[in-house]
Amino acid sequence: MAGRLLRDPLIHFLAAGALLFPIHHLLSPSDTGSAAPAAAPAVEKTIVVDRPALLAFMQYRSAAFQPRFFGAQLAAMPDRDRKELVDSFVREEALVREAHAMGLDTGDYVIRRRLIQKMMYLVDDAATANFAPGDAELERYFRAHQADYQRPPTLTFTHVFVDKEAAHPEGIQRAAGRLKAQLEARHARFEDAPGYGDRVLFLQNYVDRTPDFVESHFGHGFTAALSKLAPSDHWQGPISSDYGYHLVLLTARHAASLPTFAEVREQVKDDLLHDTIARYRETALADLTRRFTVRMKDLPATAESPSKGGGSSALALLP
């Protein structure tokens, strides 16, 4: 009898649990500060095994949510497989209940994050329950946050390209210089650009394009050089990029502008909603924490003289 007991995995587990339980409580901070183990909550001792429970179990286990597929699988399952399934379900359930009873979920940060996420869903739902702003309110918000709705500046130019991957017997810089002289001598216009230089890689003409767009094609150096130029009837450059040299005819530059309220109404509404949620969260969390007594205990004294670099060492570790 004693031999069998020693070989029984359940007994091993419970024995280990008996050791673990007080240790866990010793390590956990508790309200009273007392190290005495609290009475374990009663564990519900009946595990109900039915079809919905098994189906849910199968789906979570496979990390796939296909009730019909698993329903069919369950229906067609031979007795031996079904017994195995039931066994693993019962074990999982027993482990989870025992873990709850032992309070193992309390110190687990992953579980805490998930609980917080669920609470925040509820908070956000409450925040948006009565959200129905009128146009006047939206327009006020728009006026107060105009900087967020600025449209970026734009440039209009065409270019003649000297490709560093193409053959230039005279050297690429000299080729660029010769082309520029040619463009000037022939008074080449915007629409003449396709007749000169090497085959362009991306676009020939950049009409009302933002500096970001130009930068996504030719990089930061090119765009910075281009934005130093003034619009002109003359060919300018060459400006270099990763791909070679460009002679540019920059004809227009438009400053950043502000759209009308009507044009961005939907976006404003969305932004106001976002702000409303953020504000509501602040209030809700402040209300919630007010319901608790926060007792500061044995905190290290605040630094009298902050380090010269500004900011604590902990902050410096953040990206």
Partner 1 sequence: MMDRMRSSVRRLRFGRSCTVLALATTALLPGAQAADPNARTGLLWGDLHVHSSYSLDAYATDNDSVTPDLSYRFARGIPIRRPGLDAKVEIRRPLDFMAVTDHAELIGLQVLLDQRNPLLLSTPWGQKMLAIHLDPKSGGVMRASGGAAGADSPERREMLGQIFSPALRQATWQAEIDAAERNNVPGKFTTLFGWEWSSMPGGKNLHRVVLTDATPAQARQFYPYSNFESARPEDLWAFLEATRRRVGADFIAIPHNSNISGGLMFDMVDSAGRPLTAQYARMRAAWEPLMEVTQMKGTSEVHPALAPSDEFADFEIRRKLLAGTPTPPSEADYARSALLRGLEVQRRVGVNPFKFGMIGSTDTHTGMSSVQESDFMGKLAMDAPLSQHYKPSRPVIFPDWEMSASGRAAVWATQNSRAAIFAALRRREVYATTGPRIALRVCGGYSFEAPDARVRDIAALGYRKGIPMGGDLARARGGKAPSLLVHAIKDPLSGNLDRVQVIKGWIDAAGKTHQRIYDVAWSGNRRRGANGKLPPVGNTVDVTTATYTNTIGAAQLATVWRDPDFNPNETAFYYIRVLEIPTPRHSLYDAVALGIDYRETGQPATIQERAYSSPIWYTPET
Instruction: Tell which positions 15-54 bind partner 1, by CB under 8 A.
Output: none
242 binds partner 1 (CB under 8 A): yes
Instruction: Tell which positions 257-276 bind partner 1, by CB under 8 A.
Output: 266-267, 270-271, 274-275
- What is the SS3 assignment for 267? helix
221-228, Cβ contacts within 8 angstroms, sequence gap of 24 or more: 222/246, 226/155, 226/157, 226/250, 227/155
- Phi, psi (5° rounding) for residue 157? -155, 160
- How many CA atoms, within 13 angstroms, populate the side-chain half-sphere of residue 181? 6
Q: Which residues pair with 173 in a beta bridge?
A: none
CA 111 to CA 213: how far, in whole Å?
44
89 binds partner 1 (CB under 8 A): no
Which range binds partner 1 by CB under 8 A, 8-16, 37-45, 98-106, 193-201?
A: 193-201
Residue type, 311: G
253 binds partner 1 (CB under 8 A): no
Residue type, 273: L
72 binds partner 1 (CB under 8 A): yes
The single residue among 90, 94, 123, 201 that binds partner 1, judged by CB under 8 A, is: 201
- Phi, psi (5° rounding) for residue 154? -135, 160
Rounded to the nearest 10°, the torsion over CA 117, 118, 123, 129 is 130
Minimal distance, residue 58 CB to partner 1, in Å = 10
Instruction: Tell which positions 109-168 bind partner 1, by CB under 8 A.
Output: 110-111, 113-114, 117-118, 121-122, 125, 145, 148-152, 154, 163, 165
Judged by CB, which is closer to partner 1: 30, or 66? 66
Which residues of this protein are in contact with partner 1, per CB under 8 A? 56, 59-72, 110-111, 113-114, 117-118, 121-122, 125, 145, 148-152, 154, 163, 165, 194, 198-199, 201-205, 207-210, 212-213, 215-220, 242-243, 266-267, 270-271, 274-275, 278, 319
